[in-house]
């Protein structure tokens, strides 16, 4: 049966995954989809209310959900130690936490840069350094997935340091993928574009393109719709699974075609152009 083919080829059942930022937004979709495939999930998220809600939603699944901030190395370390104590194995790490604010670069200061680098890059390094020896010890290989962004692949006016930090995550992943390839530990990125989540709505409040009407979506996104959390979580499940057993050091783009179309828009009435029609 098709279901058995997916289940056995994916080989996720009974594996153990750490997901940072797994209680809300894209992270929550990733945790639910991994759990639905039999993965035992360990989550660290700073939103205590969302953590309690996730615990309720995952009742009946073997999970470990903690409130804490990934920017604190001690909180990450404690989560990995709790995973050791509970399951004694680790197969997958998904680094979801990231975020930004909007400001022209020249109006930002070192304090803001540090905050963006800590929120988007430093914890990924910490989490990987904690995960790799544990995955390696299992001798079964494993998978690391970073949630990055399309802004790691193009200019992002108003988001210069965020884009730079996410590009650093992607480049780090490429090197780590090569260093860990002999261990069968794969390292990949997933780079979404526009998926409405609470934090994206906050950014829209700061003046980032809201893309709220069907016409605006059809102009900017080749597939003419906003992304859904499951568009992203499906990519993460695939990369975590044995279906991606020979995929490493690369990036998947669940973005409805915006990375491919970069700079081209499907203008209402006039169609595709890489400039504003009539100007
Ligand atoms: N939503 C989008 O359209 C979009 C597009 C491109 C990239 N991304 C990336 O996807 C990732 C998730 O984005 P989202 O929109 O789901 O964000 P989000 O903030 O809505 O959700 C992520 C979860 O992470 C948690 N979190 C945030 N900071 C944390 C911290 N320091 N420690 C622990 N937990 C923390 C939040 O509480 C939340 O539950 C980010 O890395 C973001 O850069 C999102």
**pLDDT single digits (tens) 11-59:** 999 999 999 999 999 999 999 999 999 999 999 999 999 999 999 999 9
**Is 155 domain-assigned?**
yes
Q: Which domain holds residue 201?
A: 5-213+227-259
**Is 177 domain-assigned?**
yes
pLDDT band, residue 201 (cuts 50/70/90)? confident
Rounded (10°) angle between helices 25-36 and 229-240: 50
Number of structural domains in the chain = 1
The pLDDT score that the predictor gives to residue 198 is 84
Closest CA to 28 of 163, 198, 168: 198
pLDDT one-digit tens code per residue, 108-164 = 999 999 999 999 999 999 999 999 999 999 999 999 999 999 999 999 999 999 999
Does 19 sit in the ligand 1 pocket, CB within 6 Å? no
* DSSP H helix total and E strand total for the chain: 11, 9
**Is 183 domain-assigned?**
yes
**Is 28 domain-assigned?**
yes
Would you mind telling me the total number of residues written for the chain in this entry?
279
pLDDT band, residue 208 (cuts 50/70/90)? low
The answer to whether 162 is a known catalytic residue is yes
Query: What percent of the residues of the chain are helix, what percent strand, and what percent coil, each to the nearest 5?
Result: 50, 15, 35
Alpha carbon distances (Å) from 229 to 151, 223, 232:
18, 15, 5
The pLDDT score that the predictor gives to residue 276 is 94
- Rounded to whole angstroms, the Cα distance separating 32 from 185 reads 23
The pLDDT score that the predictor gives to residue 223 is 98
Which helix (H) or strand (E) segment holds residue 169: the answer is helix 160-180
What is the rounded average pLDDT for all residues in the chain? 96
Does 149 sit in the ligand 1 pocket, CB within 6 Å? yes
**Is 175 domain-assigned?**
yes
Q: In terms of pTM, does the model score above 0.75?
A: yes
Q: Per-residue pLDDT for 263 more than 70?
A: yes
Q: Which of 21, 114, 220 to mutate to test the pocket of ligand 1 (most atoms within 8 A of CB)?
A: 21
Separation of CA 139 and ligand 1 centre (Å) = 31
Q: What is the CATH number of the domain that holds 44?
A: 3.40.50.720
């Amino acid at each position: 049966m098709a279901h058995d083919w997916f289940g056995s080829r994916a080989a996720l059942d009974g594996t153990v995954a750490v997901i940072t930022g797994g209680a809300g937004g894209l992270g929550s979709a990733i945790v639910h989809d991994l759990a639905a495939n039999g993965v035992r999930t360990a989550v660290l998220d700073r939103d205590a209310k969302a953590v309690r809600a996730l615990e309720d939603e995952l009742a009946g699944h073997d999970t470990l959900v903690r409130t804490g901030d990934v920017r604190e190395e001690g909180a990450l370390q404690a989560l990995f130690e709790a995973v050791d104590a509970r399951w004694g194995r680790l197969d997958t790490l998904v680094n979801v936490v990231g975020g930004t604010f909007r400001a022209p670069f020249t109006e930002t200061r070192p304090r803001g840069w540090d905050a963006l680098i800590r929120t988007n890059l430093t914890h990924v390094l910490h989490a990987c350094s904690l995960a790799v020896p544990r995955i390696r010890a299992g001798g079964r290989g494993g998978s690391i997935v970073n949630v990055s962004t399309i802004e790691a692949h193009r200019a992002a006016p108003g988001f210069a340091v965020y884009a730079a930090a996410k590009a650093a995550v992607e480049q780090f992943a490429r090197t780590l993928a090569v260093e860990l390839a002999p261990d069968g530990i794969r390292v990949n990125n997933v780079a979404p574009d526009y998926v409405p989540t609470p934090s994206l709505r906050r950014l829209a409040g700061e003046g980032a393109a809201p893309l709220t009407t069907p016409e605006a979506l059809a102009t900017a996104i080749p597939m003419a719709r906003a992304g859904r959390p499951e568009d992203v979580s499906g990519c993460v499940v695939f990369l975590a699974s044995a279906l991606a057993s020979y995929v490493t050091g690369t990036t998947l783009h669940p973005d409805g075609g915006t990375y491919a179309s970069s700079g081209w828009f499907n203008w209402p009435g006039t169609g595709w152009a890489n400039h504003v029609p009539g100007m």
